[in-house]
Amino acid sequence: MKSYSLIDGVGITHTFDKVPQRIVSLVPSQTELLVDLGLESKIVGITKFCIHPQHLKSAKCIVGGTKNVNYDKIKALEPDIIICNKEENTLEIVENLRSVCPVWVTDILTVQDNLKMIDDLGKLLDCQVKAEYWISRLSFALSDFKQFTENKSVQKAAYFIWKNPYMVAGSENFINELLKLNHFENVFENQPRYPEIELQQIIKKTDLDLIFLSSEPYPFKEKDALEMMPLVTQAKIRLVDGEMFSWYGSRLLKALVYFKELHLKL
């Protein structure tokens, strides 16, 4: 076949003489997507956080986490492509791995970024038909969900991702995008990324409607909600599935179903 060139999410042009056959994926949500694109047999290495589908961890080589990888293990796998993400993986990891093989880096901030990422992987890994299938399914589900939320009033929300110190989702991330999709106005959208906050900042927001405590990366539990409840009597506190708010790729299809159920419970 002829060589082909593609530009990844951070603007790096990659040229390939053949379709990559041995893939290391360092992003859990993208690992799930690769399986849904029919590429499971080509995946040779994953992180310890790549938990979907469940059987994958026992079938593939675990090369570390998303922020700390075993370079020797990855080299030994002789990958043709390593798939990373600008937020999930560190710049140091990406730069060090470029000496092993091409490193494809995604950057997902919006729903449209997500759809483009799927399209790009379809072209990169020669699975365009599957990619188009997922883009079509997601586009239809998104259209349906927008109709579902069309007449819902906007509610002000804070989305907690960490405790000790407390951290919330600000702007410039996929969580904020999905909050907006749900008609939840992120009260910390004026702050970048994932700011640390004091609970006093929440108490002062007397117009706050909802507080979401995520299951990841910090695993908030019922006891955390009970601790917070006396301080924020003006807002409903809800434990939410962090994967649904932060995982991109094909997971968005399940997330849209989850969001409908969440709205019915609010």
Residue pointed to by tokens 């599935």: 241
Fold match, 4-141 / 152-265: yes
Q: How far apart are CA 99 and CA 97, in angstroms?
A: 5
- pLDDT score for 148: 98
Per-residue pLDDT of 200-224, as tens digits, reads 888 777 789 999 999 999 999 999 9
Comparing CA positions, the residue from 37, 42, 41 lying closest to residue 133 is 37
Q: Which residues pair with 5 in a beta bridge?
A: 15
**Superfamily name with CATH number, domain 4-141:** Nitrogenase molybdenum iron protein domain (3.40.50.1980)
Contact yes or no for 215/242 (Cβ under 8 A): yes
User: In the numeric block, which tokens belong to residue 13?
Assistant: 């042009």
Comparing CA positions, the residue from 62, 119, 258, 96 lying closest to residue 106 is 119
- pLDDT score for 251: 98
Per-residue pLDDT of 18-31, as tens digits, reads 999 999 999 999 99
* Domain 152-265 class, CATH top level: alpha beta
Q: What are the residue ranges spanned by the domains of the chain?
A: 4-141, 152-265
- pLDDT score for 231: 85
3-state per-residue secondary structure call for the chain: CCCEEEECCCCCEEEECCCCCCEEECCHHHHHHHHHCCCHHHEEEECCCCCCCCCHHHHCEECECCCCECHHHHHHCCCCEEEEECCCCCHHHHHHHCCCCCEEEECCCCHHHHHHHHHHHHHHCCCHHHHHHHHHHHHHHHHHHHHHHCCCCCEEEEEEEECCCCEECCECCHHHHHHHHCCEEECCCCCECCCECCHHHHHCCCCCCEEEEECCCCCCCHHHHHHHHHHCCCCEEEEECHHHHHCCCCHHHHHHHHHHHHHHHC
Q: How far apart are CA 126 and CA 113, in angstroms?
A: 20
Give the contacts of 62 (CB within 8 A, at least 6 positions apart).
45, 46, 47, 48
pTM: 0.96
Q: Which residues of the chain have pLDDT under 70?
A: none
